[in-house]
Each structure stands twice: as structure tokens, then as C-alpha cells.
Amino acid sequence: MTLPRNRKTGYFAAIIGSLIGAVLLLNIGGYLGMSYVENFMPNAEFDDVIPALVGQFIGWWTGEILGCWLSLQWQNHQDAKKTVICLAILTPLGITIWAVSYLFLFNWASDHWSSIQVDRLHNQLRPISVIFTIIALAFLARFRTKPKSKNGYFS
């Protein structure tokens, strides 16, 4: 016996699932990258940033995809697989665009403000901008793959 498909659009499920999965695995990936550096690269200077960034990138990417898929499947929404495939394609592009724009903004702010103000801005703006990027990517993926209604228009 199969459950009937959920006829709702699934935006909320995709966004909340992506947000929870990405935030959890982003932090776990960063922690694993830093623990790798501490254990296997004790004398590294600038090279210690790379494993942490790779861990956060992979954690963000896989967490967003897994969270979205689990939430859409759990609530039995249509086209969950299409949404996850689209999100898997969009997420690396979104992370790259976020990183470039964030670095540009951070460098611009460091030229115009004092270091204390830039540090405060960095600590407040980074998590907020990551959250908005995750929400935008999940919304865009669901919008691109949302099933059409019986009359041919989006429901």
C-alpha cells in the first residue's frame, strides 16, 4: 500500500530540511577539517585553512541535499528527486557565488572601517548570509522542479 502524494508545493519542507541539514553538516565538516589539521598537520601555517574549508564546503553541500531530500520524502511531496538533483547542481554554484561576494564585501569593509568594526560585522554577517544563501538555493531548486497541477499551471 502506498501513501497518497502530498499536493502542497513543498517550498517550506525543502527550505527547512535544507537549512537544518546544511547547518548541521557545515559545522561538523569544519570541525572534522580542523581536527585533521591539529592531528596530522601540527606545523602547518597557511595550509591549515584548506582542510577546514573543504570540510565546510562538503558539509554544506551534502547537508543541504540530504536535509532537503529527507524532508520532502518524509512529507511525501511530489518530485522530491528532481528537486534534490537540481539542488545538487545549484549548491556548488551558490556556495562559490556566496564566497566571492562575501570576500569582496569583507575586503571592502576592512578598507573603510576599523578592525574591531570589521570583526563584529564578520561575526554577525557570515551566519546570516549563509542562512539566506541556503534558503535561496532551496527555494530556487524547488521552484524549478515544482510539479504542475492538472490544469497545466503551477499550483
Q: Following DSSP, what letter does each residue of 126-141 receive, concatenated? A: HHHHHHHHHHHHHHHH
In three state form, how does the secondary structure of the chain look? CCCCCECCCCHHHHHHHHHHHHHHHHHHHHHHHHHHHHHHCCCCCCCCHHHHHHHHHHHHHHHHHHHHHHHHHHCCECCHHHHHHHHHHHHHHHHHHHHHHHHHHHHHHHHHCCHHHHHHHHHHHHHHHHHHHHHHHHHHHHHHHCCECCCCCEC
State pLDDT tens for residues 25-62: 999 998 998 888 888 887 777 777 888 889 999 999 99
What is the residue range of 21's domain? 11-145
Q: Residue 66: inside a domain, yes or no? A: yes
pTM here?
A: 0.82
Cell numbers 564578520: residue:
122
Q: Residue 5: inside a domain, yes or no? A: no
Q: Residue 2: inside a domain, yes or no? A: no
Number of structural domains in the chain: 1
Q: Residue 112: inside a domain, yes or no? A: yes
Per-residue pLDDT, averaged over 128-155, amounts to 82
Residue scoring higher pLDDT (132 or 3): 132
1, pLDDT greater than 70:
no
Q: Specify the pLDDT at position 118.
A: 79
Q: Residue 103: inside a domain, yes or no? A: yes
Q: Specify the pLDDT at position 119.
A: 79
Q: Residue 137: inside a domain, yes or no? A: yes
Q: Specify the pLDDT at position 4.
A: 62
Per-residue pLDDT, averaged over 10-14, amounts to 90
